[in-house]
Structure 1
């Protein structure tokens, strides 16, 4: 195998582009190797702000390709005595083989003569020449640019291309390649000759370039930990920020800076957001988890005087914090309650009214939900709903939109609102993303449910439901959040009823009344995904959804019982009994009441008596929602049902007798369906 070293050097690329490019290159390069029958080992794809890199060992040639060339039919190629015809001889000659090397194969059209040939593989270097440039130029890019007089487009101007395979420079089709790379733009900008993989990695490391993003990530973490110990603190490392900074530098150095302690009077989230999102700084915490007046910046250079760099970072952060402090104290001059009427001036959606309209819906919906699940929190939920959008009009949220809800909580507390009301204002957006925390307070949970129901019903009602991969209003996430809150709280909220409340509050804005059922099915679809991830089977979920769609807790209880019962030896007997009953009832209408006086055979009376007995025993089990117990007593009917079908002709010609027997079976079927629809199970 030969070593491939391929590097595209550019101007600084956006940090969010590089990791995405790495994944695409890794995937497409692996796919290309497979398609081209090139064996590869130790393939690695790296990226920095200034370079995209592929390293690995590749075979010098493609693997040989086995080809089957089909000729004339056997009966044309050979005479009855087995001697070849001129057609066979001509085919063999055209393929460069003797007649003896011909084989007979069977196809859909009959037997044919053929030749098995092995085609030599092409040179890997020849294939790389055309593929590598296209791999880079066809990367998905948010924006691209053209530079100099070349007709190429890329995310940033390409300044050099290193392409060495087996120690020799590849003559690429589009790029002019060489065996040279360049070190760190400021620390070691000189040209460096490269012969192989280890040579490449070692020389660039000496030139202050850590090509491997994981090595850079480790160094950043170590550097941050090291400098924060100087002040007895530890860093608050956000993984998303760490990822971003990893692709902003080629050789990281950590700088510890500080700010005035007076800024610590600002809410913690304001300080963290200012440092993290606007300056790419890492905050520092003490042993109690409280913010310290320090931060860590990551530099791409080791300046002659790092003190100057530190002071520069401190100066920029101070200006940012002064702005934040100004916004905060200006906002406190107007309480949230006084801001609410101004929400009439803010459009929520052109077809769903203003934010004030939305707040009125949230107040009413929160009241209805709270009355069902935690009646003692009704007034708190209504108050939180009334105030929950007011912080959108504050200066702070205008500058830092990611602080919506959080600032509402802070301003509510400063205005003397109930602590749970304030917390609910923050929590009603949760969960904001997968793995985010759910609301911790009951009031916050109620308001979060109201928020999500209003959004789901509102957008579905005007025809803006998710399509394919498009979900601009994050309705899938909101539906999952709604499900997770109900499951966590074990709240028995009737979903169909709650959706109806939301649609009633939307009133004249509803363009599609049929969307009520669509919202319910959409939420259940998200719930199904959660249940599948927990190990329940799709047919078990379908069997329960067929009889229960409103109560998520009850749905889970039924599925758990069915899943458990499925492992018992009685499961098959239950399925057989139910299916014998349900199959004969397909497409049949029958009167609801059974008339015992019309029974003609002992087996009818025996089955009816057993049905009455089982129904009586089932009542307390239904009240306790003991679905496992119910399935256990249902299975006792199997032998009696079998005797009934063996001895009794259900579809007799006499109408009254037939309808009475169908009514008996219908009653038994309905009893089963109070738990699950066993006909949906795949056995």
Structure 2
């Protein structure tokens, strides 16, 4: 049977830009999967199209009608389908009727012996599905099941029929090869034409004579790049080329999220360069960058030193011969926003951070936790505790720093641009002649703000960030404000991951359990264990995201470690150790030790009495254990965890011989206790870096 490519395009009013790509991909995948389920294609081979006004798909090599297939259908056991006279029972006749067959079909049945029982099978022919008959239902199903956050209701031209979709549908294009597929969907009949760019199209309607010609015709006649990724690449390449014309020392900030959003806003991108007055460069550049990216969807241009210039990239959706009006229009739009930022900045400078910090008493942090001033004081106490544990003596007034860190919440700049919390505080601190370290800590205590974000620059910033995150976790858990499902209004997951990253990636030796036990409110300690489990779960996810196996992660984080400063080095060592041939046997032996000791009640005297080591195998194990334990201890002190685990290989043979020859639970109680103590020491050495018994399931 002849196969042709199938094209479907749904033309709408402007789609939400942040979800356009996702809608296009979901629509294309759903359509193709449904056609595959009908056996009209052999594989999931398709192309996705999406623009601000359309989503579409080109499904490759689609049959018009599926092939007739014969299938053997199991009906029932023979003893149920036939009576003692070997005639069909009512049960068999009813089963055949349910399949559209009459009693004569009993001539086509087959008896098959299966598991000592005779079963009745019927060979039945199934006519292949017809694309013309099925496509309307396929499209309706796909559109109904798109990941649409908010539906829009609109009426059709008849004035009565209401349709629900993300945006009103204007046209449905359905072409199989060079033939229109007639169908009705969303109150519209399918056609073999579509509409191009609102302003750049060469024709009122664009005729699609063949599905394979769609993309090229839309480009050449419709003025539309229908492929999202091709449109995105064009923006990226044209943007770089335009900036190069300014000079080789300049580059545009290419934020991936902004690039995707802009791609969703245009059908035929046109890259232009706009400029603003130099006076606005006196405003903190983060503010200018934010307003250009968030409000106007411009790409700011930096010089080779990372400083903002007064030029920016505009991505327009039209291509007039004279682009000056477009450029001037965009420059006119951005100017008031920059003037507002300049005004807020100058107004803020009339005050000081200290003055702002005094007003933190007027900002409620949480009705059960007091004000931002109260919170800052709790952070200061945590910082003082942390500094003592880290033996830091910088003569820093922690209370003053904690209050200054939250002071910019009262500034006009942060009121207008909340994303700049901390960033603005750093600028104001520097202008007030605070040290770079002090100012950096103000900005950095919010870091990391997202996955892959930078960590604080120096130790003071580390301590403030750690204290701030621990205070957030303790305070909110203590009043029951825990994340539920996907909801996490106080970003506690982000705080926990940030805390873990700072401790682990900056090698900061702090006993996290000690801090939590010390500062968690004694009046409401019920949720403390939940908080510890919550942090442990984030730690496990953090390590799994670094492509370690579940077993390797369990080995180092199956129980919440007190310190996270060396956890990355430990798990790296476990990963290396797990690649050794001996590792699995040692892991299994360790698991066996764990199981034995689990049933043993120690009397807290774990000393090994050498005079009670009777058999040669236990003497050899004791000797080997003493020799390796000293070396292991030295390697761990030197943070050489790989070598420490490698030393365990020397214990493999003595361990194997011990378990082969020695009965741990000896009749003599003293010998039995001594052997258990030997296993206790062995267990400690084998778990010096991680619980390697977890590797036994790899």
TM-score (normalised: structure 1): 0.88
Q: Does 1:342 align with 2:359?
A: yes
Q: Please, which of 116, 129, 133 is the counterpart of residue 122 of structure 1?
A: 129
Q: Does 1:428 align with 2:455?
A: no
Return the offset for 1:410.
Answer: 1.0
Q: Which residue in 2 is equivalent to 1:466?
A: 483
Residues 660/625 of structure 1: CA separation in 2 closer, same or farther (3 Å cut): same
Q: Which residue in 2 is equivalent to 1:529?
A: 541
Q: Please, which of 131, 137, 146 is the counterpart of residue 139 of structure 1?
A: 146
- Mapped contact 1:427–1:444 kept (Cα < 8 A): yes
* CA distance in structure 1 between the aligned counterparts of 2:69 and 2:620, rounded to whole angstroms: 74
Q: Please, which of 32, 45, 49 is the counterpart of residue 46 of structure 1?
A: 49
- Mapped contact 1:373–1:493 kept (Cα < 8 A): yes
Give unpaired runs (5+ residues) of structure 2.
Answer: none
* CA distance in structure 2 between the aligned counterparts of 1:42 and 1:134, rounded to whole angstroms: 20
* CA distance in structure 2 between the aligned counterparts of 1:645 and 1:230, rounded to whole angstroms: 76
Q: Does 1:220 align with 2:224?
A: no
Tell me, what secondary structure is at the counterpart of 2:8?
Answer: strand
Residues 106/316 of structure 1: CA separation in 2 closer, same or farther (3 Å cut): same
Residues 77/410 of structure 1: CA separation in 2 closer, same or farther (3 Å cut): closer
How many residues were matched structurally?
A: 674
Q: Which residue in 1 is equivalent to 2:7?
A: 5
1:417-496 aligned at under 5 Å gives the runs 417-496=434-513
Return the offset for 1:173.
Answer: 4.3
Return the offset for 1:180.
Answer: 2.6
Q: Which residue in 2 is equivalent to 1:153?
A: 164
1:159-198 aligned at under 5 Å gives the runs 159-166=170-177, 167-177=179-189, 178-188=191-201, 190-198=204-212
TM-score (normalised: structure 2): 0.86
Deviations 1:637-677 (A, max 9, x none): 66666666677665455555544554454444445455444
Range moving further from structure 2, 397-406 or 515-524: 515-524
- Mapped contact 2:483–2:489 kept (Cα < 8 A): yes
1:11-50 aligned at under 5 Å gives the runs 11-39=13-41, 42-50=45-53
Q: Please, which of 539, 550, 557 is the counterpart of residue 551 of structure 2?
A: 539
- Mapped contact 1:179–1:195 kept (Cα < 8 A): yes
Tell me, what secondary structure is at the counterpart of 1:118?
Answer: strand
Range moving further from structure 2, 116-125 or 637-646: 637-646
- Mapped contact 2:504–2:567 kept (Cα < 8 A): no
* CA distance in structure 2 between the aligned counterparts of 1:94 and 1:312, rounded to whole angstroms: 77
Q: Please, which of 240, 255, 271 is the counterpart of residue 238 of structure 1?
A: 255
* CA distance in structure 1 between the aligned counterparts of 2:679 and 2:229, rounded to whole angstroms: 67
1:580-659 aligned at under 5 Å gives the runs 581-593=593-605, 594=607, 596=609, 599=612, 601=614, 619-621=633-635, 623-631=637-645, 650-652=664-666, 655=669, 658-659=672-673
Q: Please, which of 202, 212, 215 is the counterpart of residue 201 of structure 1?
A: 215
Range moving further from structure 2, 453-462 or 272-281: 453-462
* CA distance in structure 1 between the aligned counterparts of 2:216 and 2:692, rounded to whole angstroms: 66
Tell me, what secondary structure is at the counterpart of 1:105?
Answer: strand
Deviations 1:396-447 (A, max 9, x none): 1111112221111111111111112112211222221112222222222222
Q: Which residue in 2 is equivalent to 1:391?
A: 408
Residues 10/109 of structure 1: CA separation in 2 closer, same or farther (3 Å cut): farther
Deviations 1:136-192 (A, max 9, x none): 244333333333433102222222222333412422144322223222223337123
Q: Does 1:365 align with 2:367?
A: no
